[in-house]
A and B are shown apart, each in its own frame.
Chain A
């Protein structure tokens, strides 16, 4: 589906800005509710994420001693900005990306990692022991999933011969869905997304029973609210990205809704199925299995593109 909006509307209202923030809250609610139901709990009410956000925004922001003040205030803003910017290149809600250029896939992936980077810096900025350990873990975890996640998204890109998200989205539906053609890539992308969002079982960087709230232990009020809404929006963008690449593209808002919700259903199930992985187990998992499998698949895809014309289904992805 294609609509053209004045740039200011696209930035502030739709698909960027306000609608994105609201959808972030909605998806946070859906995620929390699903996990709760899997665990046989009742779960939050529909307005709980919004209520949390309003409460945090209304609260005093305590700036602890020993931090670089500017950085402390600036980091949450950078994180949220990066995430909101990333949304402009992604087919949000099934509409064509608001902006696009060839190679915007790489930019988007790195805008998404800026969140983790900011959280890591925010943790390292404070003197709190839990924050320092959390920051170390957040960055360690980033180094483990980032490469496989990028490679997983490159799978469809290489198979289709374009690094433009809009083009991949449009072309993904016309071929065999990439979830069938590249199942390993799909798995790596989905699990990588969970690692990015620090969802259980990859929540070692913010494991509350060990290091309280990890890198964000010292954050309160506005800063914490911005980080949290940033992560909510990252969830929506990540799901959109994975759905548009691997689940046959997003052609309409309805497509967007059911495909992302199915992905959410799967991630929520994965969240409730496993015990938390220690950080060394996470790194081991990615470098021992994730990277090797994804590299093997990437080589297959590259070979497939050369011999593709002779074997019909491989090269087309």
Chain B
């Protein structure tokens, strides 16, 4: 139907403003009837110049800036940055601070995964699951608020430790919250694996094989749903993950259903490790002293954000401000999987495939130059500025 007058390709463009996108991004899907034949993405609508911004702030100020890279996984950004700086300064963080960092990180993972569950259900037109999972997410939001004082940017880290402590009252509140959430999560697991209409939207949709996942460099739950056994928390433990380990959750199907299952099973792991953490919280100081000027050098700091591996590169020139900070967020690594699995599916599946990687637009918007013909060139600040003006015209 409607195909009589179109020898040229019928392109449905989604975004930058579109109800399916909670943040601006632009996607063009070439369709034939309802079948998608091509997919392209254009990002960069919310580029904020944060990496450049770090270069004119001190190491301490940057902690607060980096926490604001992402509005959902703010703690992992601050943690990755703080760990990098501590490595630069050769400072050992006390065990209790490390355990509290892990605790907040896992609570944040719960909040992030539940948020994603709701958004993904909404993209599939299952608003009841959306509303209920977000209602339950309030439990963990309230816990985070009672522990840190904030619902979104927790600001739990300082360079050299954490600034919040856990007491008996909070421990029992967390226990109660985890029990409630575990029960609800088991229910959601039943919904996403048994509800026929929902399975019709997720099973065998957006399938990505192990080979493809490895070739595209997918990370996080998206990759683990395709069978990639890679998790920074296990492969390169940081914070207290060596003492309170988690098990890697993987699946082999690689479709949207597997991504739901992997994320929900990760929630179980988070509940378990949080209970262990608060029951066996080591006693120690919360902070150590850290110098104001960092010794010259460069480090790499990696943590497992809810969406996958988060990578920080820090370079110090010996002053109280960094020379260069490079952030690579997990969403950026996963776009390839969206664009390559989209082709061949129906237009109606696009929102769910997009949401399947749990995209976070504003944290992945950065300038990327794909160097195809191997000519190395240096761009001056003026070149970059001009390029930016042209790009957004």
Q: Is B290 an interface residue (CB 8 A)?
A: no
Binds B, one of A15-23, A187-195, A196-204, A223-231: A196-204
B303 shortest CB reach to chain A, Å: 31
Whether, in the assembled complex, A300 has its beta carbon less than 8 Å from a beta carbon of chain B, the answer is no
Give Cα distance in the complex from A142 to B122, angstroms: 24
Closest A residue to B1 by beta carbon equals: A136
Q: Say whether, besides A130-B12, A277-B200, A279-B34, A201 and B1 are in contact (CB < 8 Å).
A: no
Partner of B126, one of A40, A132, A274, A278: A274
> In this assembly, does A3 line the interface, its C-beta being within 8 Å of a C-beta of chain B?
no
- Please name the residue on chain B nearest to A213 by beta carbon: B19
A207–B1 CB distance below 8 A:
no
- Is the interface on chain B under 10, 10 to 19, 20 to 34, or 35 or more residues? 20 to 34
- B386 to chain A minimum Cβ distance, whole angstroms, is 33
Per the bound structure, the CA–CA distance linking A139 and B1 in Å amounts to 10
A-B contact count (CB 8 A): 85
Among B131, B198, B348, point to the contact of A207 (Cβ < 8 A).
Answer: B348
Q: Which residues of A contact B128 (CB under 8 A)?
A: 38-39, 272-273
Q: Is the CB of A278 within 8 A of B12?
A: no
Q: Which DSSP category, helix, strand, loop or mixed, fits chain A's interface?
A: helix
> Does A276 contact B126, Cβ atoms closer than 8 Å?
yes
Q: Which residues of B contact A279 (CB under 8 A)?
A: 34, 348
- Smallest distance from the beta carbon of A20 to chain B beta carbons, Å? 29
Residues of A near B7 (CB, < 8 A) are: none
Tell me if A281 counts as interface (CB < 8 A to partner B): yes
For residue A41, which residue of chain B has the nearest CB?
Answer: B131
Chain A residue nearest to B196 (CB atoms) is A274
The answer, yes or no, to whether B183 is at the interface (CB within 8 Å) is: no
For the A-B complex with A132-B2, A200-B125, A275-B200 known, give 18 more contacts whose Cβ atoms are closer than 8 Å.
A40-B135, A129-B10, A133-B347, A139-B1, A140-B1, A201-B125, A201-B197, A203-B125, A207-B125, A209-B19, A209-B122, A209-B124, A210-B347, A211-B12, A273-B128, A275-B197, A276-B125, A279-B34
> Can you report 5 A-B residue pairs in the complex whose CB atoms are below 8 A from each other?
A129-B11, A133-B31, A136-B1, A210-B350, A275-B126
Measured CB to CB, the residues of A under 8 A from B are 38-41, 124, 129-130, 132-133, 135-136, 139-140, 200-201, 203-204, 207-212, 272-281
